[in-house]
Amino acid sequence: MSFRHFLRSAIKTSRITSSSKFALSSARSTLFATSNGDWNHRPFCSDSNSSTSVSEKSTTASASSYYHLSGGPSHMRAAVFWEPGKPLTFEDFHMPRPKANEVLIKTKACGVCHSDLHVMKGELPFASPCVVGHEITGEVVEHGQLTDSKIIERYPVGSHVVGAFIMPCGSCFFCSKGQDDLCEAFFAYNRAKGTLYDGETRLFLRNSGKPVYMYSMGGLAEYCVVPAHALAVLPNTLPYTESAILGCAVFTAYGAMAHAAEVRPGDAIAVIGIGGVGSSCLQIARAFGASEIIAVDVQDEKLQKAKMFGATHCVNALKEDAVKRIKDITGGMGVDVAVEALGKPQTFLQCVQSVRDGGKAVMIGLTLSGAKGEVDINHLVRRQIKVIGSYGARARQDLPKLIKLAESGIFNLTAAVSRTCKFEEAGQAYKDLDQGAISGRCVVEIM
């Protein structure tokens, strides 16, 4: 049916329901998108001339966003971050509604990550109030209207899925080149505004209808909306809880090792900071055939566990000069690749100083917004040292690979998850993470 016939029919019957209005609006958007040849090259043009703020747009849109899940509830609970210094609170929300090419997930598990903690401490600017949590597994319960049929076939209702924290739009300049980790829409909308790619959040408080923003998909919730390109099917052989870390801790480590460092068999690797991401780097380095894998931390407990993940040498940076020890282990050369997984100026410098001539220093640790790292410029220039930033992997290419690594046992998910907790205990888990009391990765079970 053409758009004109659809409109005429809707007016004639005088029975346009809220879902019909949504379909009508979506049809108009789709018609415009498909009739404009350069639409995919201008992913943000719809907001460029608008004077309406994201908050105003989200509040206006909220009335048509409330709906009952077919055969299920009309509302859910989520953990809300309000402002630095205040604890997470659990609030009731209207059921989030997926739009075209988005999927509604019943969340089963969500990892506890330092990136969330940086937001909660005010070290990384982000829209608030928001729902944090960006490392999830769950079950598909609904698809947005006008979702591509191939997406519905790939993720039918009932599918087990894992979600990546970098949620590619699939059509921007970088996504079209396969560089999902640099997706323009993700950084311009989600990280800059706390919304999805129409400039609107999917989260609205039940008591007031006010919008709450989304850090990635806002995973510390009973349900969450995820753009389909950020998902991969989780086989029934893998558990929901432990598999949640595939979407960030393992995802970040793989991006650093495969794309930034381009690790080769026989390479010597040093990982500075053995938390959830750092320990995943050790496992990925081992899987890639690294010969020497040096773990650096200040806690003996973490270093002891590092041996389980593939570390051939351990260095306690409180007890000895980490750079000197790395050079000693490698016969004075330094490592082919050093990875910084803490986000501190001191470890940034250690990372650069630990690599051999022509080596790569890969930075993956986030830190206080605006923090600076210093390097010796002459050493960098004369010895051809490469300093590379890496935020994560590429969801469409890499997430299925990580699932296969876990399914085959090459990546040990069980060993990587050091603690689990109930949904109501999420706030305490972040406090413990901040105090260094979690040695690996903690996962919140929401089932």
Please say if the pLDDT value at position 66 is more than 50.
yes
Q: What average pLDDT does the segment 90-100 reach?
A: 97
Span 188-207, pLDDT tens digits: 999 999 999 999 999 999 99
The answer to the question of residue 161 being in a domain is yes
Same domain, 399 and 383: no
**Integer Cα distance of 276 and 364 in angstroms:** 12
On whether both 222 and 93 belong to a single domain, the answer is yes
Buried/exposed 431-442: b ≥16 CB within 10 Å, e otherwise:
ebbeeeebbbbb
Q: So what's the pLDDT on residue 68? A: 66
Task: Encode pLDDT of 292-351 as tens digits.
Answer: 999 999 999 999 999 999 999 999 999 999 999 999 999 999 999 999 999 999 999 999
Q: What is the CATH number of the domain that holds 333?
A: 3.40.50.720
Residue 48: its pLDDT value, please?
34
Q: What is the pLDDT of residue 70?
A: 72
Q: Are residues 240 and 283 in the same domain?
A: no
- Rounded to an integer, the average pLDDT of 212-225 is 98
User: Do residues 182 and 188 lie in contact, with contact meaning Cβ atoms separated by under 8 Å?
Assistant: no
- The reply to whether 265 falls in a domain is yes
Task: Give the strand pairing for 313-316 and 292-297.
Answer: parallel
Tens of pLDDT, residues 70-94: 777 889 999 999 999 899 999 999 9
Residues 115, 174 within the same domain: yes
- Name the band, by pLDDT with cuts 50, 70 and 90, for residue 98: very high
Identify whether 49 is part of a domain: no
Burial class (CB in 10 A: 0-12, 13-18, 19+), 26: middle
CATH number, domain with residue 210: 3.90.180.10
Q: Are residues 385 and 404 in the same domain?
A: no
Domain that includes residue 91, residue range = 75-250+394-445
Q: What is the pLDDT of residue 67?
A: 60
Structural domain contains residue 57 = no
Same domain, 124 and 199: yes
74-77 — which CB contacts under 8 Å span 24+ positions?
Answer: 75/206, 76/221, 76/222, 76/223, 77/221, 77/222, 77/423
Is 208 inside a domain boundary?
yes
> Of the given ranges (28-42, 163-177, 190-204), which has the lowest mean pLDDT?
28-42
User: What residue type is assigned to position 24 of the chain?
Assistant: L
Mean pLDDT across the chain, nearest whole number? 87
The model's pLDDT over 371-387, given as tens digits with 9 standing for 90+, comes to 888 888 999 999 999 99
Asked if pLDDT for residue 407 goes beyond 60, the answer is: yes
Looking at residue 12, its pLDDT comes to 41
What pLDDT does residue 439 have? 83
Q: What is the mean pLDDT of residues 43-47?
A: 34
pLDDT at 26 over 80: no
Does one domain contain both 184 and 237? yes
366 and 274 in one domain? yes
- As a whole number of angstroms, the distance between CA 231 and CA 395 comes to 7
- Please determine, for residue 1, whether its predicted confidence score (pLDDT) is greater than 90: no
| Per-residue pLDDT at 37 | 31
Tokens of 229: 């390109």
Residues 6+ apart with CB under 8 A from 91: 77, 78, 80, 205, 206, 212
Model confidence, pTM: 0.84
Q: Answer yes or no: is pLDDT of 225 > 60.
A: yes
- Count how many domains the chain has: 2
- Residues 112 and 142 reside in one and the same domain: yes
Residue 220 DSSP symbol? S
Query: Is 115 inside a domain boundary?
Result: yes
Specify the amino acid at residue 386: K
140 found inside a domain: yes
User: What is the predicted pLDDT for the residue at 335?
Assistant: 98
pLDDT in tens, 342-371: 999 999 999 999 999 999 999 999 888 888
* Rounded distance between C-alpha atoms, residue 253 and residue 230, angstroms: 17
Is residue 170 domain-shared with residue 229, that is, in the same domain?
A: yes
pLDDT digit string, tens, across residues 110-139? 999 999 999 999 999 999 999 999 999 999
Instruction: Please state which of the ranges 54-68, 167-181, 403-417 shows the lowest mean pLDDT.
Output: 54-68
Task: Give the model's pLDDT for residue 337.
Answer: 98
**277 and 370 both lie in a single domain:** yes
Name the least confident of 7-21, 278-292, 387-401, 417-431.
Answer: 7-21
Decide if pLDDT at 9 tops 70. Answer: no
Domain membership of residue 306 (yes or no) is yes
Q: How large a percentage of the chain has pLDDT more than 90?
A: 79
Percent of the chain with pLDDT over 70: 85
335 with 235, same domain: the answer is no
> Do 444 and 133 meet the contact criterion of CB atoms below 8 Å apart?
yes
